[in-house]
Amino acid sequence: MACWTLVDGDWDLVANKTGPTRLGFCLMLKFFEMEGRFPEFIEEFPQPAVEYVAGLVKVPATELAKYDLAGAKRHRKQIREALHFRPATLDDEERLTAWLAV
């Protein structure tokens, strides 16, 4: 469960969030750190991780059902910025293609 544990900077990111939003954001943050992508469905979060993170943030695990994963665009942006990621662009794709062709 260590990979699902919130560390120093993580707590700063969730300080202003409560309830299902707090739990969902934390799970998305840790999922992104491990998978390099955001989940498409709530069911992608392993249930033991949901229970563990719920205990850390003091939000009942059942509250995750209220988190709007599809509408969490702002949360995805915050997480990408905090981890210094950005969505790939067409220019990135072209440069990668050219690099691979060499």
Average pLDDT on 76-100 reads: 93
Taking the domains of the chain in order of start, what are their residue ranges? 2-101
Average pLDDT on 77-87 reads: 93
The CA-CA-CA angle for residues 63, 48, 85, to 5°, reads: 80
10-63 tens-digit pLDDT: 999 999 999 999 999 999 999 999 999 999 999 999 999 999 999 999 999 999
Q: What local confidence, expressed as pLDDT, does residue 67 receive?
A: 96
Residue from 17, 19, 89 nearest 59 by CA: 19
The CA-CA-CA angle for residues 100, 101, 102, to 5°, reads: 90
Question: SS3 of 93, please?
Answer: helix
